[in-house]
Every structure is written in C-alpha cells, then in structure tokens.
Amino acid sequence: MSYFITGTDTGVGKTLVSCALLHALAAQGKRVVGFKPVAAGCDEDDHNDDAKRLRAASNVQAAYGQINPYCFSHAIAPHLAARHSGVRIEFSRIITTYKELAGQSDEVIVEGVGGFCVPLNDKQDGADLAQRLNLPVILVVGMRLGCLNHALLTLRVITEYQLECAGWVANVVADGMPALEENIEALRERIAAPLLGIIPYQAQPDASTLASLLNVQLLEKKETDG
C-alpha cells in the first residue's frame, strides 16, 4: 500500500511527516521510497531540499530524477514555476515514474506540493493527481490558528474526489498555540480517519527520531480491514 501525503497548506510539515513515515515503515522491514512528483524551489544543482530529504529517508535507492521528476528553480506556485520554465507538468510522466518506484518497493510515500488543491497545470491540480494515482490520502494538519477550517475544507475535497483519508497527523508548527489540545480534540470529533500521531513543536525537528510518534499500525489495520 502506498500513500499520498497532503497538507492544510504549504509549510505545515508534509516532508517531515513523509520522512518520518518512511523511517517508521522501514523499521518494520518494508522496502520504502519517497516520491516528490513536483517541487518548486531548487538549488544550483537543480535539486530540491524536500526531495533530497525524502531520498535520504528511503531505503530503496533511486535516482534523483525518479524521486523528483519535475523540479523548478522558482519557489512559487508550481504551475507558475513550470510556465516560467517553459514546461507543462504532465500527469502521464508522473504516473509512469510512480509505477517504476512502486515496482521497486513495498510502499511509496508520495508527497504533494503545497496544499491539496494547488494548480499543477492549466486544468489540473494536486487533488486531480491524487485521484489519478488512486492512493489513500494522509492529511498533515499544521496546528496553528486557522487549522480547523483548513483541515475540514481539505477533508471535504478528499471526500468529493472519492478518495480515502487513511489518517491524519497533527503537526504543531506554532509554538505555544492557544487551546492546542482542544483544537486537536475538535478535529478528532470531525475526522473519521485515525489520528496517526501528534508531533510537538520543535525548532529543528528530526524525522528519524519523530518516527516513533507515528502509529503506522493503524494504517496496517485499515489495510487488513479493507
């Protein structure tokens, strides 16, 4: 089983959670690989930092171009970054690369870009990509003011696209967030999918040490039940 990781916004910890999931699944003996189909914001080598972190957390070795087939220099909305580069993001290329990675591993952790509905080209967005890949979705909720609205709107789109929300992760991105526990409880009451873990605020979080905070057994239970 593979998963599509989305978030309530950009900068809410999708890469951190994706890497932690890779470490947690690898610790169970799974062959795992991270996949960042689209990234905006690259270094002088045309490599994206998030994609490099996913590659480092994987125990299946794949070429960088497989991990991140579309990488653009400008850290702006991906469809705009692609347009500035004279490129159109094609789902066919992404799906082909995903199938290659899936053939080499037990599980692929696919990290989306930005929020769930961010445009990828003139007609398609991140939700369309998740639907085309037909993967269960794991929602990363950046715990800060406004997260309830963002989480529930994202969940509504996941449902409208007839995708399964396999679970969600509460990632505390705002230090000292007021009523943190009450906000998490409000989401528990409104999200039918299991809470896979709560990641406390850390100035410099490390995915390998945070892996133990994610209850991946809940994912295995859903796989078995399904």
Note the pLDDT tens digit of each residue in 15-53: 999 999 999 999 999 999 999 999 999 887 889 999 999
Which pLDDT does position 46 carry in this prediction? 85
88 backbone dihedrals φ, ψ, rounded to 5°: -115, 130
Give, in order, the Cα–Cα distances in Å from 59 to each of 30, 162, 211. 9, 31, 15
Please name the amino acid found at residue 108.
Answer: V
Give, in order, the Cα–Cα distances in Å from 85 to each of 24, 29, 40. 36, 40, 11
223 pLDDT higher than 80: no
Q: Which residue has the tokens 């599980």?
A: 107
Range of the domain at 94: 3-225
Separation between Cα atoms, residue 152 and residue 158, nearest integer Å: 10
Separation between Cα atoms, residue 221 and residue 226, nearest integer Å: 8
Select which of 14, 36, 99, 222 is catalytic: 36
Q: How confident is the model at residue 215 (pLDDT cuts 50, 70, 90)?
A: very high
Q: C-alpha angle 61/142/91, rounded to 5°?
A: 45
Average pLDDT, the chain: 95
Q: How confident is the model at residue 221 (pLDDT cuts 50, 70, 90)?
A: low
Helices 91-104 and 126-133: crossing angle in degrees, nearest 10, is 50
Please compute the mean of the pLDDT values over residues 193-207 and round it to a whole number: 96
Percent over 90 (pLDDT), the chain:
93
Which pLDDT does position 59 carry in this prediction? 97
Q: How confident is the model at residue 225 (pLDDT cuts 50, 70, 90)?
A: low
Half-sphere exposure of 32 (CA within 13 A, CB side): 23
- Token digits for 104? 């080499």
CA 154 to chain centre: 13
Decide if 222 is catalytic: no
58 pLDDT higher than 90: yes
Q: How many domains does the chain have?
A: 1
160, 27 Cβ separation under 8 angstroms: no
Which pLDDT does position 37 carry in this prediction? 97
Give strand ranges (E) for the chain: 3-7, 32-35, 38-40, 70-72, 107-111, 137-143, 165-172, 195-199
Q: Which CATH number goes with the domain that contains 201?
A: 3.40.50.300
What confidence tens digit (pLDDT) does each residue in 127-165 have? 999 999 999 999 999 999 999 999 999 999 999 999 999
Which pLDDT does position 1 carry in this prediction? 85
Which pLDDT does position 127 carry in this prediction? 97
226 pLDDT higher than 60: no
Percent over 70 (pLDDT), the chain:
97
Record the pTM: 0.95
Is residue 132 within a helix (H) or strand (E), and if so which, with residue range? helix 126-133
